Structure 1
């Protein structure tokens, strides 16, 4: 099989999933350095990965609706690709792919396809279950004759972002970052519980910083957490960009967060993640490289809400039910914090 000279990658969102595409890009570049890679990515997500070397980016503004789709199609007018990797199954992305000219249109297997996905592809990745999302995305190179055997990110962090992060978190004081808000509200933990763990870390001599985006929901969550803090943390909510957050994460020793984009950004820069999992399965969507520090109550949630163990649920089942995150206690998180602190060298 001759190597393709042009490949289009379509994965527009979300932040966490976009970070999972980066190792696939690295795999393609290592095998076929002369191949032209074009990545159709979301407007926000491009701010994180849009400076990857050797990749042409086309921005999809999903908020613009049909206008956003037409803008992508216009940007690609006159271009054809040997292969399209259609890595997003949402109806909007499936429709978007119709305007991309490609000989080979590679998509998900039938079990993972939805929203007419099967109608816009002519090849599929191997049908497997029990895979982490990053592994599933990495398998998109297999129909092309490759195998992703190495996982590497190396997402660029500009010097100015590094300098800003160094101003916020100077020195090598053990640092806990807390990113309390997921894009799915039912994955969020209670603010007083975050504060209890933050108080514990501060009492142990750790520097604690609260991070999050500028949205009203994230500001409200930050204020609720701060109201319960005995030791005022550094509040950086709404003050960073995605690149600055990446730089902060690279300086931190541990991130406390629910299943969210920052979880995967931290993993990408090698920072340990104390992930909070009850609504989602950490083996599918937790921090890829190291899940030892996560609190996993997914099986308990499966028993409570479905009356069966997690291994009897369809792979990828979300248990986004009111109160599901209450299955995670403060003591559960403090225990994982202490284990991570000991591993890092701050017993």
Structure 2
């Protein structure tokens, strides 16, 4: 049976490496696949006392030096999903179609339905899932803009909005909702991971930043409106075709990957109306696909 182990990253990296090495000495692996392609992930691979380490030939931070085998990446492969699927070729597995899905249980869906009913959400209401937070500060768009967007979606378009995120995002999202004149649904820190999947599946559209929940939405089959600045959507954007990417086009610094920036014009230059229109375009698509229903 498979096993999943969690280990802390920095600042406890030294303790993590020692603990991981002790664990792997007891249960070594025959093969280490390094998809993260960083110096740190290369070090983690070294903690496995035996087995073959496999990584990308074009990896950053001296990572290829840690690998026994290095996978060449064709110039035609850009997106991280397609790049990671190259490991299938190395393992002699047919890569097939990169068609990923997330699932929720009936219990998850019932829990989410009860939560939404508690906020007077009707079955025919169109729900927009909004996640305004991310790990990098340079990805943030500004709480006031999210508040304005949600007010317009509720007041002008007649949609319902749910703000979701982790427990760590709760205070930030509370600050966003306090700026609003309308009343959103706030689910930050209220749901488990699988219940979050169920909430995404109930939503007509996802709107948010380049973050983990954005990828979850795409995998759950939800059309995504994603705001991009310091990262490159061609490489890490929502996977699939039924999505809208919003950027402050024309800046030479787009995709800089900086986590700190004194003047983040890439995000500050994105207008609320751009995001609003992108959300409505996807809502209209969902309605058309449903034969004129509300999604």
TM range (shorter): 0.7 to 0.9
Does the residue aligned with 2:244 lie in a helix, a strand or coil? coil
Partner of 1:194: 146
Instruction: State how many pairs are aligned.
Output: 278
Q: Do the aligned partners of 1:169 and 1:251 also contact (CA within 8 Å) in 2?
A: no
- Aligned counterparts of 2:46 and 2:21: Cα–Cα separation in 1: 9
1:33-52 aligned at under 5 Å gives the runs none
- Aligned counterparts of 1:66 and 1:160: Cα–Cα separation in 2: 40
Q: Do the aligned partners of 1:125 and 1:142 also contact (CA within 8 Å) in 2?
A: no
1:197-236 aligned at under 5 Å gives the runs 197-203=149-155, 204-215=157-168, 218-236=169-187
Partner of 1:287: 238
1:319 shift after superposition? 5.6
- Aligned counterparts of 1:62 and 1:278: Cα–Cα separation in 2: 25
Does the residue aligned with 2:167 lie in a helix, a strand or coil? coil
| 1:123 matches 2:86 | no
Does the residue aligned with 1:76 lie in a helix, a strand or coil? helix
1:147 shift after superposition? 4.2
Partner of 1:258: 209
Does the residue aligned with 1:59 lie in a helix, a strand or coil? coil
1:1-347 aligned at under 5 Å gives the runs 55-62=2-9, 64-110=12-58, 112-114=59-61, 116-129=62-75, 131-170=78-117, 171-203=123-155, 204-215=157-168, 218-290=169-241, 292-297=243-248, 299-302=249-252, 305=253, 317-318=256-257, 321=261, 322-323=263-264, 324-345=266-287, 346=294
Q: Which runs of 5+ in 2 are unaligned?
A: 118-122, 288-293
1:145 shift after superposition? 2.7
How has the CA–CA distance of structure 1 residues 319 and 93 changed in structure 2, closer, same or farther, with 3 Å as cutoff? Answer: closer
| 1:280-304 alpha-carbon deviations (Å, 9 max, x no partner) | 221111111135322133x4232xx
Q: Do the aligned partners of 1:124 and 1:143 also contact (CA within 8 Å) in 2?
A: no
- Aligned counterparts of 1:81 and 1:127: Cα–Cα separation in 2: 25
Q: Do the aligned partners of 1:266 and 1:272 also contact (CA within 8 Å) in 2?
A: yes
How has the CA–CA distance of structure 1 residues 195 and 85 changed in structure 2, closer, same or farther, with 3 Å as cutoff? Answer: same
Does the residue aligned with 1:178 lie in a helix, a strand or coil? strand
- Aligned counterparts of 2:22 and 2:73: Cα–Cα separation in 1: 34
Instruction: Say what the alpha-carbon RMSD is for the aligned residues.
Output: 2.4
1:119 shift after superposition? 2.1
